[in-house]
Amino acid sequence: MEEKTDIFICDKSRRMLWVPKRRFIRSLQDFLNSVDFLFGYVVCPLYNAAWIVESFMILVLYSVLMLLDFIAELLSISSTMNRVLRGIAILLILFCIPLLLYSLGLILFGTLRAVLCILIVMFGFIPVLFRYTYPLQRTVIFLNFVKWPHIEDLRTPDKYGLSATRNFYITTDEGVTLGMWHILPASLMNDSINANDSFYEEALSHGEPVIVYMHGNSGSRGSPHRLELYTLLRNMNYHVVAFDYRSYGDSSPVSPSEMGVVSDGKYVFSWVQERAKASPLYVWGHSLGTGVSSHALSLLAQEGKKADGLILESPFNNLRDELKEHPFSKLYRQLPWFEFFFVDPVGENQLLFETDRHLGSIKSPVLILHAEDDMVVPFLLGKRLYNTAIQIRPKDAGRVEFVPFDKNYKYGHKYIYKSPDLPQIILRFVMQKKLD
């Protein structure tokens, strides 16, 4: 009979537990006990202590930087000198405070080492990696690696509650295959039973307004908040044509770039316009899609093509300003070298998305929708875009309208569709075009 032995292991509450085990796994249990002790009594305290010190330093850092800004404004110090003072203050605070705490015996050497490692990674390795790695810049901006919902589900829109919806694919002149949905307006849903592809394409020319939807980064045309917007527009009796750019959803796995996704948007618009004929045709862009749609329509204007209107939901004015104002940049934007490492390389790699420039070439009416509590694209960027647009657009261009949504409604970055006022806002925008 195989011998049994008694093994004592520690659970998460640090109580000793008696566990009967066979001899051949005793060594494994001893190893697990050692790991449990190491992480529970050595690594975790150092890790927690390191982050406590980091939090304290960041608090001190922001306080000092705010004080420097106040002094610079009070004494009329030049911006260059203020940046130099900021750099000195940051280096002193980030590296001298932990050394001082260690010399005073307030932290252990292990904690000091952990703090310095975190600082080197956060303020050294990450900025350098971002500046000199274009694939990383591209990934952070497009977030095309976020694949949700699952690609195979996009073939069956019915699973998302979208009946009377055609899933299909088109191939651009660059050889890129784009996955697309055509959601019929409410008035045509009953006629779509057993309908073929020709029925859907011919329906675009029936006269109901057609909206080409260009989504933001991450996810696909089947993301939940996008589905809600499609449903709202369908109930308003609009056609909706939604598609995924290259590398998104089930479109071709081609690495994205600004000109790449803009080219996809141009091709889809032209494809729809050819079939819509005299039907009113609008473009709706959301978040990054506002940069794509405005750039695409700007280039199409050079070809003599235009939309009946452009709707920009949660837009930024240009990508440089978005990087500066994004919540994730708060940790770095106070650094004097922030633009060199995080902003300049994006522009050097032609990731610009300059909506505030492209609107100057678009004569279509523009409707800007922005929630005051948007934490991804700050409200001030949408307002800044509006102020720029009304100044740079030609005199014969359509009007520009800015509609803010109060922060108390908590619509944030992607829930403006929940506003009970949105259908009336859209209807007024569409009807005004007819009156014009």
Q: Which tens digits make up the pLDDT trace of 273-330?
A: 999 999 999 999 999 999 999 999 999 999 999 999 999 999 999 999 999 999 888 7
Q: Which residues are catalytic?
A: 287, 374, 413
Give the pLDDT band of residue 80 (cuts 50, 70, 90): confident
pLDDT at 189 over 80: yes
Does the pLDDT value for residue 35 go beyond 60? Answer: no
β-strands 177-183, 165-171 pairing: antiparallel
How would DSSP label each residue in 200-242?
HHHHTTSSS-EEEEE--SSS-TT-HHHHHHHHHHHHTT-EEEE
| 233 pLDDT above the threshold of 80 | yes
pTM of the model: 0.82
Q: What is the mean pLDDT of the chain?
A: 86
Q: Which tokens go with 96? A: 């001298």
CA distance 175 to 3: 68
Taking a C-beta distance cutoff of 8 angstroms, is the pair 362, 291 a contact? no
Confidence of residue 60 (pLDDT cuts 50, 70, 90): confident
Is residue 361 within 8 Å of 327, Cβ to Cβ? Answer: no
pLDDT at 266: 98
pLDDT score of 89 more than 90: no
